Chain A
Amino acid sequence: MATALKRYFADGSSGATLSVSQKVYVRSRRGKATKIVQEHYLRTDIPCSSQLCPICSLNLPKDSSGAERPPILSREPPTAGSWGPHYLVPDTNVFVKAMDLMEHKSAFYDVIVLQTVLDELRNISLPLYNRLRALSQSQEKRFYVFHNEFRQETFVERQQGESMNDKNDRAIRTACAWYRVHLDETMSKSSEIVPQVLLLSNDNDCLRKARELGVACTNLDDYVRFLPDCDTLLDMIVAEHGGDETHKFAYPEYYSTSRIQGGIQIGNLHQGVLNISQYNYLEGSVTVPSFDRPLLILGRESINRAMHGDVVVVEVLPESEWKTPSTKIVEEDNITKNDNAEDDEEENLLVTEQERRALAEEPATQNSSAEFKVQRTAKVVSVIKRNWRSYVGHIDAASISSDAVATRRQTSVFLIPMNRRIPKIKIRTRRAADLVGKRILAAVDSWDASSRYPQGHFIRALGDIEAKAAETEALLLEYDVQYQPFTQSVLDCLPIEGHDWKVPAETSDPRWTGREDLRDLLVCSIDPPGCQDIDDALHARPLPNGNFEVGVHIADVSHFVKPNTAMDSEASSRGTTVYLVDKRIDMLPVLLGTNLCSLMPYVERFAFSAIWEMTPDAEIVNTRFTKSVIRSKEAFSYEQAQLRIDDKSQTDPLTQGIRDLLRLSKALKAKRMAAGALNLASPEVKVNVESETSDPMDVEVKKSHETNSLVEEFMLLANISVAAKIYEAFPQSAMLRRHGAPPKENFEVLADQLRVCKQLSLNAESSKQLADSLDACKDSNDPYLNTLIRIMATRCMLAAEYFCSGTMAEPEFRHYGLATHIYTHWTSPIRRYADIVAHRQLASAIAYEPLHESLRDKPKLERVCQNINQRHRNAQFAGRASVEYYIGQALKNHELDVEAYVMKVFSNGFVVFVPQFGIEGPIHLRDAKSSFKFDEANYALILNEGTDKEETLQLFRKIIVHVETVVEESTGKRKVAFRSQNPKIE
């Protein structure tokens, strides 16, 4: 009854039939049970897609533009072992176990992916499904999705009492058998060898039945053994669960789905993203909507197999178990050093004594300041979504047993991820000895309740630790930066003229329609030195009525990047350009970024202009936007522009224009500050790289000129004006950027620290009050203190984010840091995708072009926002990590003593911040000979108490530290290590 087959005569004369089959199933979601009926139309014209088949290539399917899709499976498929040329048909389980092999370049070409398999895979794992989809779309590995359930000959009707799995297995065998017969028949007149169709399955019963049908088949391991480089490939097969039931400890089981869903609905369970502390791998926190402060998750058992970034469901523990966040630095490698990767289950206890001690708190401190620090604790009861990705790390050499090296048998070893928040991963490999000292990419497969560590598998080696190429790739992988070259389909979207593209000479050309000719304006650009992707240019000129006309001209990227093209979706998924110290990972192909869109001097370029009329006091009289053509008169660096302004002898109109701009920008800034905009600080340093070898030469703190702030002010103004305009035109779908006001609780700790240590007060009631109190936080003896406090205050704030105007109420639009009621990003379309969206919306708001429907689609825009927010964050992290790596390299052969500030105090160490390099790092006291006492109330460590060498290391104290670089054993990173020099800690 589940399937019914009807036949329709689609075309009476030829007798061709079109059959319909029905598929019935129950969808169980949110406690509802819905019966779903799908109709399948069976056809006979779905091709086998082999280039050898003369019949199917006569009737090729067409894509939406009417172009024929050529057959995918090659004429000369690979051979392996005793199997001659063959097409592979893996079953679902094989894809689950060996997706990494499928993606590997050395084998698995010409693969037929059955629709049945694809559907089953989707039900098992969406990420795997997406990877397989991507594989079959790329065509590089010649994966063909054969819709066997829609082809009449391979359609399989479910038999009475047959389970779905059996039916699917039968469908796979039927499809294999059909392929064989089909190729035999159609190639009967051909002289070429008919390729075999080889079914890959690990199910012995299925293999037996396939043999009965005459289908060639084998299991995965046997097949891989015949491939070249089989050791590597075998390592990449997903690890099997050990069926060993004798384990002595186990993590608590997760709650059932129904209990989770119900619990969330009535509010006694909470869902959120787990965030593991970077200083303590046993402490995590989850921010949930129901509570102001994050919930603390303490200890291995409470974290319960969840990993950093997973979406988890937590249950709040009783009040008696609420704790303050740990005041210790706890690093995994020091505590679990002796764990054995081979027999992890041997140990009796889940939580080892060392771990218990590491977490044990001193009796709750009895002072008032600790009160607000007691937080709700919770335990993880389920993981809704694993955000496992591939992790970069290195093999823990100590975890390799010596006899394994000799015998090359498969052993378990630990992979220590670069990211401290990720636990060690157990991987099985035969090549443990070869992999030591290499950067390795590995994936996590599962985390059994009976296994202390997650089980994963090896994907590939990136290269030697500390080799630049390997470290850079590792960094890009860690931050999920898409660094592959642009695909051909993206490059096809570029103008065919390539580098010779020019603004059309004739103003009658259709591309001039709606464009204003602003080529005569005295426009110039001001950017960092060596900037190639010039997004913006400016001009200012006095008007007869005493006011000024000021224009901001932005590269017209949306002219080249049209919605719904391959280039658009690539840019949307990259989201932003990523800047590393010696490398730029572009969002758009380099032709656009550094040439056609870049507003280079002396050439005509399409631009999008925002033009204001302003009074000399920078009051805006009038705003307008237009698409335009400009010719920049000069490209200045910040320094050059500054020199030009300061040079009194220069009086040409261009220089005058810049001077006007500077004056107006100061007026604008003053107004912004008066409104309560924050002047925040983040440590920014620049690494000077020798151009030939890109070896780092030296590190300096970035300098700031007045002209930096000139450009910044006008960009802010442009963004604010555009935001208002597109919100007016599209109240539901405008792409905006907001910065939420941070909850006051975020500043509680910092305010208390300032009060206790420096007798300063911090008022975070509003951004204005915060700005004022930050200005007041000064120490005349220590000018850098103010910057340090600003850096710490910045960390208390929320991250700014893109959003779609329809998803928030208007008061929520506010940008806290800039103290403006509405804001967007519009001024850097070459390197940010949000700006491209804003460009399109603005173009439509001024009636230049109709709005593409995708920009009205609120859910789609929300997805875009979510992605670019994530990409934006990752790009920042990647940039910082790159600087950190280069600082490590730059200091490789130096040791020096520098000034540093105590930024955080733990009971067994403290964190220092070095302004000169903009870096911070921990100093442990565990090895110190000196005695020390933790004074939590005063945020201080007291050294050698009671002796004449007594020293108090209080928060914000300036000390001298000795800086050197060491290769960190745990992460394999060359890291800057600090030792306190004054006061001296041995």
Chain B
Amino acid sequence: MPLSIAEENYLSTSLSQKPPCRPDGRDPHTFRPLDAAAGILPATNGSARIRLCDGGECIVGVKAEVEVCGGKPVEVQCDIAGQLNNSPLQSFLCTTLESAVRNALPPSHLSISNKYTYKLYIDGIILDHVSHPLTLLSMTIFLALLNTRLPTLITEDNTDENDEIGLPQFESDWQQSRLLCDDWLPPLVQLAVVAGRNVFVDPTGEEAAVSDGGILAIWHQSKVVGLRTVNTRDSSRQVFNVKSVATAVDVLTQTSREVENALRKVVAST
């Protein structure tokens, strides 16, 4: 339901004042409580589900297929309940996350032989969302990738000429499979909204609707490796103060580190 002009004014003012005041009383860099679980889909190589307290829910499954080298190493697909395929939001989510994962993933992690490689199919479904689903999907993908295991190769070393024509063979025991993320962490993509000089993480739908615009940051290996602005409201107004961009990077750096640690604990406990 759209906000009335009075509500919009009130919200906008309270968010941009110093110190800001969020409707639910949170700090700018505080997340709402969420419920996360990994390994919920037994037939996938890795999976996760995250539920937000506003009813937003996302499930991600990762499938690793053996393919001939040379194609895309990662493909992200996501369905958004209530939206048609190829909606702008869907393609925005998919392309953003696909390129984030692809850029962060060293090819050697998927390599099988000179000729064959794993290809990751990351399939998400957003069952419901009230706030912008980017952070939600990114966190679920992060968790699912942490949970992902790849079957171990039992074919002999890929050094001789056999390898040119050899089809790979895999260990049948699932317990022998290896973790995709043994010495590597997937990227996290976080969205923050800017209101005046203030930057808020995990914005609710209303906060986004009155904000000046959104900034997304791709977080990988303890630094922000990418930054982009995002339309968070209908109007075309997207004017940020340069300083608020710097603030956003600071805020996102801090929260991403915390989110990353929290999610790793989720996987460790399952």
Binding site for B on A (CB under 8 A): 1-2, 4, 22, 24-28, 30-33, 35-37, 158, 161, 163-164, 255-259, 261-263, 265-266, 268
* Chain B stretch 40-70: residues in CB contact (< 8 A) with chain A: 42-45, 64-66
Give 18 CB contacts A-B under 8 Å: A4-B42, A24-B174, A25-B172, A25-B173, A26-B172, A31-B169, A33-B151, A37-B42, A161-B175, A164-B173, A255-B162, A256-B155, A256-B166, A258-B169, A259-B166, A261-B166, A261-B167, A266-B165
Cβ–Cβ contact A258 & B174, under 8 A: no
User: Of A4, A35, A164, which one neighbours B44 at CB under 8 angstroms?
Assistant: A35
Q: How far does the Cβ of A37 sit from chain B's closest Cβ, in whole Å?
A: 4
Cβ–Cβ contact A31 & B42, under 8 A: no
Instruction: List 20 additional A-B contacts (Cβ < 8 Å) besides A26-B174, A37-B42, A262-B167.
Output: A1-B175, A22-B42, A24-B174, A25-B173, A26-B151, A27-B172, A28-B168, A28-B171, A31-B66, A33-B168, A35-B43, A35-B174, A163-B173, A164-B173, A255-B162, A257-B169, A258-B169, A259-B165, A261-B167, A262-B165
Residues of A within 8 A of B156 (CB): 256
Residues of B within 8 A of A2 (CB): 174-175
* Distance A314 CA – B44 CA, assembled complex (angstroms): 38
Interface residue B121 (Cβ < 8 Å from any Cβ of A): no
Cβ–Cβ contact A263 & B165, under 8 A: yes
Q: How far does the Cβ of B166 sit from chain A's closest Cβ, in whole Å?
A: 4
In the complex, the chain A residue whose C-beta lies closest to that of B177 is: A26
* Chain B stretch 148-184: residues in CB contact (< 8 A) with chain A: 151, 155-156, 162, 164-175, 177
* Distance A22 CA – B165 CA, assembled complex (angstroms): 36
* Chain B stretch 1-22: residues in CB contact (< 8 A) with chain A: none
Residues of B within 8 A of A161 (CB): 175
* Chain B stretch 126-161: residues in CB contact (< 8 A) with chain A: 151, 155-156
Q: How far does the Cβ of A950 sit from chain B's closest Cβ, in whole Å?
A: 57
Cβ–Cβ contact B43 & A26, under 8 A: no
* Distance A1 CA – B168 CA, assembled complex (angstroms): 25
In the complex, the chain A residue whose C-beta lies closest to that of B45 is: A35
Interface residue B116 (Cβ < 8 Å from any Cβ of A): yes
User: Of A25, A30, A31, which one neighbours B174 at CB under 8 angstroms?
Assistant: A25
Interface residue B28 (Cβ < 8 Å from any Cβ of A): no
* Distance A263 CA – B162 CA, assembled complex (angstroms): 9
Interface residue B39 (Cβ < 8 Å from any Cβ of A): yes
Residues of A within 8 A of B174 (CB): 2, 24-26, 35
Cβ–Cβ contact B44 & A31, under 8 A: no
Residues of B within 8 A of A31 (CB): 66, 116, 167-169
Q: How far does the Cβ of B152 sit from chain A's closest Cβ, in whole Å?
A: 9
Cβ–Cβ contact B151 & A28, under 8 A: yes
In the complex, the chain B residue whose C-beta lies closest to that of A32 is: B66
Cβ–Cβ contact A1 & B166, under 8 A: no
* Distance A163 CA – B156 CA, assembled complex (angstroms): 21
Cβ–Cβ contact B175 & A158, under 8 A: yes
Residues of A within 8 A of B151 (CB): 26, 28, 33, 35
Q: How far does the Cβ of B158 sit from chain A's closest Cβ, in whole Å?
A: 10
User: Of A1, A26, A163, A258, which one neighbours B39 at CB under 8 angstroms?
Assistant: A1
Q: How far does the Cβ of B164 sit from chain A's closest Cβ, in whole Å?
A: 8
* Distance A4 CA – B64 CA, assembled complex (angstroms): 22
Residues of B within 8 A of A27 (CB): 172
Residues of A within 8 A of B43 (CB): 35-37
Residues of B within 8 A of A158 (CB): 175
Binding site for A on B (CB under 8 A): 39, 42-45, 64-66, 116, 151, 155-156, 162, 164-175, 177
A-B residue pairs, 4 tightest by C-beta: A31-B167, A262-B165, A258-B166, A28-B170
* Distance A496 CA – B44 CA, assembled complex (angstroms): 56
Residues of A within 8 A of B169 (CB): 28, 31, 256-258
* Distance A256 CA – B163 CA, assembled complex (angstroms): 11
Q: How far does the Cβ of A260 sit from chain B's closest Cβ, in whole Å?
A: 8
Residues of B within 8 A of A262 (CB): 164-167
Residues of B within 8 A of A257 (CB): 167, 169
* Distance A664 CA – B55 CA, assembled complex (angstroms): 87
Q: How far does the Cβ of A92 sit from chain B's closest Cβ, in whole Å?
A: 16
* Distance A163 CA – B172 CA, assembled complex (angstroms): 12
* Distance A163 CA – B167 CA, assembled complex (angstroms): 26
* Distance A257 CA – B156 CA, assembled complex (angstroms): 11
Residues of A within 8 A of B66 (CB): 31-33
Residues of A within 8 A of B168 (CB): 28, 31, 33, 258
Residues of B within 8 A of A22 (CB): 42
Cβ–Cβ contact B42 & A24, under 8 A: yes
Q: How far does the Cβ of B162 sit from chain A's closest Cβ, in whole Å?
A: 5
* Distance A25 CA – B170 CA, assembled complex (angstroms): 11
* Distance A256 CA – B116 CA, assembled complex (angstroms): 17
Cβ–Cβ contact B42 & A259, under 8 A: no
* Distance A25 CA – B65 CA, assembled complex (angstroms): 15
* Distance A56 CA – B170 CA, assembled complex (angstroms): 42
* Distance A27 CA – B66 CA, assembled complex (angstroms): 12
Cβ–Cβ contact A32 & B65, under 8 A: yes
In the complex, the chain A residue whose C-beta lies closest to that of B164 is: A262
Residues of B within 8 A of A265 (CB): 165, 167
* Distance A26 CA – B172 CA, assembled complex (angstroms): 4
Q: How far does the Cβ of B145 sit from chain A's closest Cβ, in whole Å?
A: 16
In the complex, the chain A residue whose C-beta lies closest to that of B175 is: A2
In the complex, the chain A residue whose C-beta lies closest to that of B165 is: A262
Interface centre among B43, B66, B162, B167 (most CB of A within 10 A): B167
Residues of B within 8 A of A261 (CB): 166-167
Q: How far does the Cβ of A783 sit from chain B's closest Cβ, in whole Å?
A: 58
* Distance A1 CA – B148 CA, assembled complex (angstroms): 13
* Distance A263 CA – B163 CA, assembled complex (angstroms): 10
In the complex, the chain B residue whose C-beta lies closest to that of A161 is: B175
Cβ–Cβ contact A256 & B162, under 8 A: yes
Cβ–Cβ contact B44 & A30, under 8 A: no
* Distance A20 CA – B124 CA, assembled complex (angstroms): 27
* Distance A262 CA – B45 CA, assembled complex (angstroms): 25
* Distance A164 CA – B175 CA, assembled complex (angstroms): 9
In the complex, the chain A residue whose C-beta lies closest to that of B41 is: A37
* Distance A2 CA – B151 CA, assembled complex (angstroms): 13
In the complex, the chain B residue whose C-beta lies closest to that of A39 is: B42
In the complex, the chain B residue whose C-beta lies closest to that of A27 is: B172
Residues of B within 8 A of A266 (CB): 165
In the complex, the chain B residue whose C-beta lies closest to that of A22 is: B42
Residues of A within 8 A of B172 (CB): 25-28
Q: How far does the Cβ of A79 sit from chain B's closest Cβ, in whole Å?
A: 40
Q: How far does the Cβ of B79 sit from chain A's closest Cβ, in whole Å?
A: 22
* Distance A366 CA – B47 CA, assembled complex (angstroms): 71
In the complex, the chain A residue whose C-beta lies closest to that of B44 is: A35
* Distance A842 CA – B19 CA, assembled complex (angstroms): 90
* Distance A289 CA – B129 CA, assembled complex (angstroms): 58
Residues of B within 8 A of A33 (CB): 64, 66, 151, 168, 170
* Distance A3 CA – B37 CA, assembled complex (angstroms): 18
Cβ–Cβ contact A26 & B162, under 8 A: no
Q: How far does the Cβ of B160 sit from chain A's closest Cβ, in whole Å?
A: 10
Check A30/B167 contact, CB under 8 A, given A2-B174, A256-B156: yes
Cβ–Cβ contact B165 & A268, under 8 A: yes
* Distance A256 CA – B162 CA, assembled complex (angstroms): 9
In the complex, the chain A residue whose C-beta lies closest to that of B116 is: A31
Residues of A within 8 A of B164 (CB): 262
* Distance A263 CA – B169 CA, assembled complex (angstroms): 14
Residues of A within 8 A of B173 (CB): 25-26, 163-164
In the complex, the chain B residue whose C-beta lies closest to that of A160 is: B175
* Distance A26 CA – B177 CA, assembled complex (angstroms): 9
In the complex, the chain A residue whose C-beta lies closest to that of B153 is: A33
Q: How far does the Cβ of B197 sit from chain A's closest Cβ, in whole Å?
A: 48
In the complex, the chain A residue whose C-beta lies closest to that of B167 is: A31
In the complex, the chain A residue whose C-beta lies closest to that of B43 is: A37
Residues of A within 8 A of B116 (CB): 31
* Distance A922 CA – B74 CA, assembled complex (angstroms): 68
Residues of B within 8 A of A35 (CB): 43-45, 151, 174
Residues of A within 8 A of B170 (CB): 26, 28, 33
In the complex, the chain A residue whose C-beta lies closest to that of B161 is: A259
